[in-house]
Structure 1
Amino acid sequence: IYISYFSDPMKRENYSEVSEFIFQGFSNFQEHQITLFMVFLALYILTLAGNAIIVTIISMDRHLHTPMYFFLSMLSISETFYTLVIVPRMLASLTGLNQPISLAGCATQMFCFITLAINNCFLLTAMGYDRYVAICNPLRYTVIMDKKMCTKLICGSCAIGLTIATVQIASVFRLPFCDARVPHYFCDILPIMMLSCVDTSIHDIINFIISSLVIVVPMGLVFISYVLIISTILKIASAEGRQKAFATCASHLTVVIIHYGCASIAYLKPKSENTRDQDQLISVTYTVFTPLLNPVVYTLRNKEVKDALRRAVGRKSLC
């Protein structure tokens, strides 16, 4: 079906109207698709299991009923839905079940992906603020970080994600598309805009500005929090006190560095810097590996979570 797109009264061009997209996925790695399927499936199962364990342990163990672990459980839930939006369809495409996705389905996937990705960024910022209050203002911690404040931070993170996702979707899906073959394994913003029949320079600039704000602003807030945290820790007289204070921040700081690092490489790099295969490798990092990082880091590096796991296993053994 052909429609006319009037971007200029003096220029009329016929464009093919696309009603659905087909993901090309990992077509450049045909001989490795079974191996990729097995690896990604194993990582996906570990991610789901790890996040489920974290949420369950935090809800069951009263020692973990604190703002820090409340944010961690919300992050685990958000990461779980984040992977559900992308990974199952990616796994299906690796087995040859590469079904087309409608424009509405693609818009829905992109909307959920953007919302949850931005929500995760600001949840990490909320966790940084929690650590800042706990270490820099411990006497007023329970007053500042009460249930009302925690709820506001969670709702604020979600609201920012929903707002920006709505703007992005409205911008991208107003474009006319000439090609239905998406050079990617899910509906990300840049691969979809590449299929447009018209010049997307303005959209690219808007997308870069939004990505910069979404990544740089929360990352900057976390950086400021940790500058103040470290300066406070260095003033602690005892070595044991300093070590304990650093230990409470180590897990969160590890997740923050890797999370924002991957996001910066993916969305703040020059548009033509990487090839399609390199772009997919970067995408796999933040859609498959980074969600697994959260449960791994917080179970292996966090003493309180490990103690809660031991108590839960002990109760199970007694039963």
Structure 2
Amino acid sequence: MSEQTTSGASAPLTPTDPAPSTTTSVTTERQPAWRRVLSGSVGRNLGLVLALLVLVIVGAVTAPDTFLGVSNIMVILRQASIIGVISIGMTLVIIAGGIDLSVGSVMGLASVVAALAVVQDLADQTHWIVMVIIALAVGVFAGFLNGIVIAYGNVVAFMATLAMLVGARGLAEILAERRTLQVGGQREFITFMNLDILGIDMLIWIFVLVAVLGWVLLNRTTFGRRTVAIGGNREAARLAGINVKRHVMWLYAISGLTAGIAGVMILGRTTAGSSVNGQLYELDAIAAVVVGGTLLIGGRGTITGTVFGVLIFATLTNVFVQNNLTSSVQAVAKGVIIVIAVLLQQRFARGPGRTT
């Protein structure tokens, strides 16, 4: 009899079990508007702006005579421009859940091929734009190879692009015969790449143009929405009708294209194609993308955040140079910033309302 009473008393408690989750849902929905804004991309970009401002203040205090000068600001932007262009392509790849370790080597290869004597002779007979087209073609071709191996060969992106990193650098050394190839004879090309438009260097304008095109591609096109969807859940994207393999192939082609553009930029700036151009640029690009808020696991990221990430590292480097600090100290500081960025990513990746 007592067993029946106990059973009867406990039975009404069962329907009340879901109550805690209902309360949590209501609490989440009633979050203040400012908190919802700060937990999104606006809040993350605001944090990047504040970090950049802190670095600017530190630079202005420690090097008051030079840091805020127009010439020094232009130096920072020029240093950011080449890495910035590579980082735009890297952002798209990482948002889709991939990685491209080959961009620095592809950039070096593109600069070497464009500086070959046969290419310069062809440019002499036609127009210097031929050098640019060939450099971009080299980048796109290398990116396509990466994409085909990864998407259709089912090779892990890390390994496929690592192979391209080694292979492209080796091919650049073979073509250049371990020499630096000068393009001093292409005066029109060099003049164009060193133009100042409205007082702003051509390299900076190229970075701005690539960043704007990358933003439009990611935020205003079906291609961009599919990129985010693939990074969020590749299988769900496939079931939704997206040709995931073809899309991934194009993403790596775009990454190769940005590496080719960077190859043209450094060729115009240094007037030389070399197999050492772009060494370790892939690591700088990945660091800028991560600091900019793009998740390494894919599914979330912004071009705006990447631009701020690039500017943060360029400004940090300039602050160290202004204060005569060694490259070793710079490397340690960059490492600390990357670790902090990854830790913050893990926190934000949990999403609003989650505590575990």
Shared fold per TM-score greater than 0.5:
no
Bigger Cα Rg? 2
Looking at secondary structure, tell me which structure has more strand per residue.
Answer: 1
TM-score, structure 1 as length reference: 0.29
